[in-house]
Structure 1
Amino acid sequence: MIKIAAMGDNVVDCYLSKGTMFPGGNCLNVSVFIRRFGGVSAYIGAIGQDEAGSVIEKALHDENVDLARLRILKGATAYCVIGHRDADRVFVRADLGVSMFSPSSEDIAFLKDFAAVHIGQSSGLDDHVSAAAAQTLLSYDFSTRRDPEHRRTIAPLCFLASISGGDLSHDEALAIAAELRDCGARWVLVTRGSEGAILLGAEGLFEVAASPADLVDTLGAGDTFIARTLFGLIAGETPHALLSAAAVAAAETCRYFGAVGHGAPIKLSGVVPELQTISS
């Protein structure tokens, strides 16, 4: 059984026009998708003692994600206000709440029982990725962060380095992938939205077109692609097979609201009070 942990960010994505919040965040999403793809997953992170935190905890529990290292802290759970332009998600405003945490030595030691750990740059855990990579294979999502010095620091630690490249030309995507490989990443994934994705590794360059989908909401599609690619690499699937499966899975995520579903009503009083001042 393939075991993959995710350590870092979580959030409730608040769709004000629907009055609904959905569990989300790059690392939380990856932990859920790994479980859905047939793996064993664990989530290491922090939520608040509030209704939003309860929504996140229940969703992870219902998805059978291991919560042994989940912290429940005083303070507010992270939230993000989501808008849409057609079906494409737009980030309006966010508050990180208690989600920015420092892993303990026990959290790091916990990783040794997993085949890989996924960490995203938005989690603020760059000071801890070296320790995590010493325990197991590291998957790291650079998202849209582009500074070369950051890539040169993190890439040597990576089994899989991922980039969100919807704003990049094909040549730009290839150049960044090649740089990450040259810096030491074993595999590099560049997701390009409707343009598909690129995977570069020792076996060569592989590309896949985006799978057709009736778009409802693109939130979480990139995280789906990362999770399915990581799962496939750990499982020993061929690059062509895992990319095809990842494209299909990402398209499926676009067919419903929220990254992983599990929507719950937004109750402005006592959940995310600052949202009372934000119009939809």
Structure 2
Amino acid sequence: MKIAAVGDNCIDLYENFKKAFPGGNPVNVAVYFKRLGGRASYTGAVGDDEYGKFMIDAIRNKGVDVSNVKILPGKTAITHVKLVDGDRILGDYEEGVMKEFKISDEDIEFFKNHDLVVSGLWGRVEDDLHKIKKKGIPIAFDFADKLDSPIVEKAIYDVDYAFFSYDGGDDDFIREYMKKIHRKGPKVVIVTLGEKGSICYDGTSFLYEGVIPCEVVDAMGAGDSYIAGFLFGILSGKKIEECMKIGAQNASTTIKYFGAW
């Protein structure tokens, strides 16, 4: 099993501790998928600065294929983070060279050697998902908590596994939202609910999964871990219920330490 993680990367700069950790939604998913025993590559853009080298070396050291990463003149993306009682508070995001990233035809040829492509809201790939879809490659996409983002409407018709996060507490609202999203094309719609676990809709029924109780050190990467676990289950031929459990277990591993990985 091999996934192509595509899109944004960023350095998570923890201001409390003056420490930098590599991260970014697709990058994290690739690393967590590899941690579970799968194979993964990452496609995106880093700057030709020290953080760019740090990012590539860190991803490579986790066993992820970085042969398709672009090194562009400029700065690698940075997210400023504060940690307060185990909860991460995201500050300014400096996009750097990622603002220049775009999927090429060569990239799509590269993706054909993978079982699935996964990206997310800040990956700058929504305009080209249809090209990947035409090649018959399944697509997973993380829309985060941006339920009303115009990117949802732009991307959703080409997505097979649609991930969202929601902490609004209105169960009726989120179930109706998932039904509406499912009618637009995805095979499965999955929503992580923070401490309440996760909910999944396959067009027929809703499935629920709780969290794995553990001491939370840093919640960074929890959602990405869940996505990696869920997709690992899907590509392993597991039932949806089992995929949700693998996602929850993978997330519980990540939140026990500082940084995404």
TM-score strictly above 0.5:
yes
CA distance in 2 between counterparts of 1:240 and 1:126 reads 28
CA displacement at 1:201 relative to structure 2? 1.1
CA distance in 1 between counterparts of 2:22 and 2:250 reads 18
CA contact (8 A) 1:152 1:180 kept: no
1:85-108 deviation per Cα after TM superposition (whole angstroms, max 9, x unaligned): 321111111100112301211001
What are the ranges of 5 or more consecutive residues in structure 1 without an aligned counterpart? 261-280
Q: Which residue of 2 aligns with 1:190?
A: 191
CA distance in 1 between counterparts of 2:224 and 2:256 reads 15
Opposite residue 110 of structure 1, the aligned amino acid is F
Aligned length: 259
Q: Which residue of 2 aligns with 1:276?
A: none
Identity of aligned pairs, percent? Answer: 32
Q: Which residue of 1 aligns with 2:123?
A: 123
CA contact (8 A) 1:80 1:93 kept: yes
1:172-208 deviation per Cα after TM superposition (whole angstroms, max 9, x unaligned): 2212211111111101110111010011114632110
SS at match of 2:98: coil
Q: What TM-score comes out, normalization by structure 1 length? A: 0.88
1:30-74 deviation per Cα after TM superposition (whole angstroms, max 9, x unaligned): 111111111110100011111111221111111111111111111
CA contact (8 A) 1:30 1:224 kept: yes
Q: Which residue of 2 aligns with 1:151?
A: 152
CA contact (8 A) 2:39 2:64 kept: yes
Opposite residue 224 of structure 2, the aligned amino acid is D
CA displacement at 1:11 relative to structure 2? 0.2
Residues 55, 146 of structure 1: CA spacing in aligned structure 2 closer, same or farther, 3 A cutoff?
same
Q: Which residue of 2 aligns with 1:225?
A: 226
Q: Which residue of 2 aligns with 1:211?
A: 212
Q: Which residue of 1 aligns with 2:105?
A: 105
Root-mean-square deviation (Å): 1.5
CA contact (8 A) 1:30 1:226 kept: yes
- Higher normalized contact order (CA 8 Å, seq sep 6+, divided by chain length): 1
CA contact (8 A) 2:31 2:62 kept: yes
Q: Which residue of 2 aligns with 1:26?
A: 25
User: Which deviates more, 48-57 or 9-18?
Assistant: 48-57
CA displacement at 1:152 relative to structure 2? 3.8
User: Which deviates more, 71-80 or 142-151?
Assistant: 142-151
1:237-268 deviation per Cα after TM superposition (whole angstroms, max 9, x unaligned): 112222112111111111111111xxxxxxxx
Opposite residue 87 of structure 2, the aligned amino acid is D
CA distance in 1 between counterparts of 2:206 and 2:233 reads 16
CA contact (8 A) 1:76 1:97 kept: yes
Q: What TM-score comes out, normalization by structure 2 length? A: 0.95
Is the aligned partner of 1:199 residue 2:200?
Answer: yes
What are the ranges of 5 or more consecutive residues in structure 2 without an aligned counterpart? none
